[in-house]
């Protein structure tokens, strides 16, 4: 049986890659890291969902994408947030 590499597909724009997206951000649409304000669950999406997929609560999401060199720059999560 032949092992084929996993394909990763962006749920937003449909872009397909042979491996994981660098920093879990789609290179085509630039999805963002969002952190649930109630349970801390991380979601990667262009816009945050209305309800958290983990705790199922309607909550505020904080954009925790890194935008500065101090935390690694775009494609990384800002662990200070």
- The whole-number pLDDT of residue 1 equals 45
Give percent of the chain above pLDDT 90.
22
Which residue from 28, 30, 39 is spatially nearest to 67, judged by alpha carbons? 30
Report pTM: 0.61
Residue 75: both structure tokens together: 């494609």
What are the tens digits of pLDDT across the range 26-44?
777 777 888 999 999 988 8
Which of the pair, 47 or 35, is modelled with greater confidence? 35
Residues 50 and 60 sit within 8 Å (Cβ to Cβ) = no
What are the tens digits of pLDDT across the range 3-15?
545 666 665 577 7
Distance CA 60, CA 24 (A): 21
Residues 25 and 44 sit within 8 Å (Cβ to Cβ) = yes
Distance CA 53, CA 58 (A): 10
pLDDT (mean) for 65-81: 78
């Amino acid at each position: 049986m032949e092992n084929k590499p996993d394909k990763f597909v962006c749920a937003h724009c449909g872009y397909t890659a042979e491996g994981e997206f660098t920093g879990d951000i789609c290179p085509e649409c630039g999805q963002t890291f969002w952190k649930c304000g109630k349970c801390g669950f991380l979601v990667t999406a262009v816009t945050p969902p209305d309800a958290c997929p983990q705790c199922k609560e309607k909550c505020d999401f904080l954009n925790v994408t890194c935008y500065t060199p101090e935390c690694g720059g775009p494609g990384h999560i800002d662990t200070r947030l």
